[in-house]
Copies of this chain bind each other. A is one copy, B any other.
Amino acid sequence: MTTANDRRAASVNAPVRNSAKALRHAMSGLSGPEAMGWTGTVRPAGTPGDGQEVLILGAGVAGLTAAYELSMLGYRCTVLEAQNRVGGRNRTARNGDELYELDDSGAVTHTHTCAFDDDMYLNLGPGRIPYHHRRVLKYCRDFGVELEPYIMETTANRVRPPGAEVTWPNRRVANDTRGYIAAKLAETLVELDTFTGEMRHLLRVFGALDENGKYRGTTRSGYLAPPDIEAWPTPAPPLSFEDLVNSGFWKARFYQPVDYLWQATMFQPVGGMDHIVKALAREAKRAGATLVLGAEVLDIEIGEGGQGVHVRYRKGDDEFDADARYCVSNIPIPVLRDIHLTNFSDPFEQAINTINFEQTCKVGWQANRRFWEGDLGSWDDTEGIYGGISWTSHNITQLWYPSNDYFSDKGTLTGAYNFQEEAHTLGNLPPEERLELARKGAIELHPEFADESLVPNDKGVSIAWHKVPYQLGGWAAWKPHKENHKQAYKQLLQPEGIDAFFVTGDQISPLPGWQEGAMMSAHYVCQQILGIMPLTAPDEVAVPDSVALTQGLF
> Which A residues fall within an 8 A CB radius of B?
13-21, 24, 39-42, 131-132, 134, 137-138, 140-141, 147-149, 151, 153-156, 171, 175, 177, 181-182, 184-185, 188, 198-199, 201-203, 205-206, 208, 219-223, 225-233, 244-246, 248, 250-251, 255, 258-260, 263-265, 267, 374, 376-384, 386-388, 403, 406-407, 480, 493, 508-511, 520-521, 524, 537-538, 541-545, 553-554
If A17-B225, A377-B14 touch, whether A205 touches B250 (CB-CB below 8 Å) is yes
CA distance A379 to B248 in the complex (A): 39
9 pairs of A and B residues whose beta carbons are closest in the complex? A138-B376, A265-B386, A232-B542, A155-B263, A132-B382, A229-B524, A20-B228, A231-B542, A185-B185
If A225-B18, A378-B41, A553-B208 touch, whether A198 touches B510 (CB-CB below 8 Å) is no
- Which single residue of chain B is at the shortest CB-CB distance from A146? B407
- Which single residue of chain B is at the shortest CB-CB distance from A245? B198
- Which single residue of chain B is at the shortest CB-CB distance from A224? B19
Question: Could you say which of B41, B138, B231, B542 contacts A510, with CB atoms under 8 Å apart?
Answer: B231
- Which single residue of chain B is at the shortest CB-CB distance from A170? B263
Q: Which of A131, A406, A510 counts the most chain B CB atoms within 10 A?
A: A131
Known: A16-B379, A41-B377, A229-B520. 20 other contacts (CB 8 A): A14-B379, A15-B380, A16-B380, A18-B228, A141-B407, A149-B149, A151-B265, A155-B263, A177-B202, A198-B248, A201-B248, A205-B554, A220-B259, A220-B263, A231-B510, A232-B542, A264-B264, A264-B387, A265-B386, A265-B388
Chain B contacts of A149 at CB under 8 A? Answer: 149, 151, 386-387, 403, 406
CA distance A225 to B131 in the complex (A): 15
- Which single residue of chain B is at the shortest CB-CB distance from A19? B225
| A536 CB, nearest partner CB in chain B, Å | 11
Chain B contacts of A203 at CB under 8 A? Answer: 181
Q: Which of A14, A177, A227 counts the most chain B CB atoms within 10 A?
A: A227
List 7 A–B pairs whose Cβ atoms lie within 8 Å, in order of A's numbering: A13-B377, A14-B378, A155-B260, A155-B263, A199-B245, A230-B542, A232-B544
- Which single residue of chain B is at the shortest CB-CB distance from A149? B149
**Chain A interface, >50% SS class:** loop
- Which single residue of chain B is at the shortest CB-CB distance from A207? B181
| A546 CB, nearest partner CB in chain B, Å | 11
Question: Could you say which of B222, B230, B250 contacts A260, with CB atoms under 8 Å apart?
Answer: B222
If A132-B382, A134-B379, A553-B205 touch, whether A231 touches B20 (CB-CB below 8 Å) is yes
Question: Could you say which of B232, B250, B379 contacts A206, with CB atoms under 8 Å apart?
Answer: B250
- Which single residue of chain B is at the shortest CB-CB distance from A229? B524
If A131-B156, A265-B151, A553-B205 touch, whether A141 touches B376 (CB-CB below 8 Å) is yes
CA distance A223 to B202 in the complex (A): 26
Taking a contact as CB atoms under 8 Å apart, the answer to whether B154 and A265 are in contact is: yes
Taking a contact as CB atoms under 8 Å apart, the answer to whether A201 and B137 are in contact is: no
| A336 CB, nearest partner CB in chain B, Å | 19
| A528 CB, nearest partner CB in chain B, Å | 10
Question: Could you say which of B147, B232, B258, B376 contacts A137, with CB atoms under 8 Å apart?
Answer: B376
CA distance A520 to B251 in the complex (A): 40
Chain B contacts of A132 at CB under 8 A? Answer: 156, 222, 382-384
Chain B contacts of A151 at CB under 8 A? Answer: 149, 264-265
- Which single residue of chain B is at the shortest CB-CB distance from A221? B260
Question: Could you say which of B20, B41, B222, B231 contacts A379, with CB atoms under 8 Å apart?
Answer: B41
Question: Could you say which of B156, B225, B231, B250 contacts A202, with CB atoms under 8 Å apart?
Answer: B250
Q: Which of A175, A260, A538 counts the most chain B CB atoms within 10 A?
A: A260
| A13 CB, nearest partner CB in chain B, Å | 8
Q: Which of A15, A137, A263, A264 counts the most chain B CB atoms within 10 A?
A: A264
| A164 CB, nearest partner CB in chain B, Å | 12
CA distance A202 to B254 in the complex (A): 11
CA distance A255 to B231 in the complex (A): 25
CA distance A492 to B16 in the complex (A): 64
Chain B contacts of A538 at CB under 8 A? Answer: 230
Chain B contacts of A219 at CB under 8 A? Answer: 259-260
Taking a contact as CB atoms under 8 Å apart, the answer to whether B18 and A493 are in contact is: no
Chain B contacts of A147 at CB under 8 A? Answer: 406-407
CA distance A356 to B154 in the complex (A): 35
Chain B contacts of A20 at CB under 8 A? Answer: 228, 230-231
Taking a contact as CB atoms under 8 Å apart, the answer to whether A377 and B229 are in contact is: no
Chain B contacts of A554 at CB under 8 A? Answer: 205
CA distance A17 to B544 in the complex (A): 53
Taking a contact as CB atoms under 8 Å apart, the answer to whether B374 and A134 are in contact is: yes
| A24 CB, nearest partner CB in chain B, Å | 7
- Which single residue of chain B is at the shortest CB-CB distance from A255? B205
Question: Could you say which of B42, B155, B206, B258 contacts A181, with CB atoms under 8 Å apart?
Answer: B206
CA distance A134 to B381 in the complex (A): 8
Chain B contacts of A520 at CB under 8 A? Answer: 227, 229
CA distance A153 to B376 in the complex (A): 25
If A154-B263, A171-B260, A510-B232 touch, whether A382 touches B134 (CB-CB below 8 Å) is yes
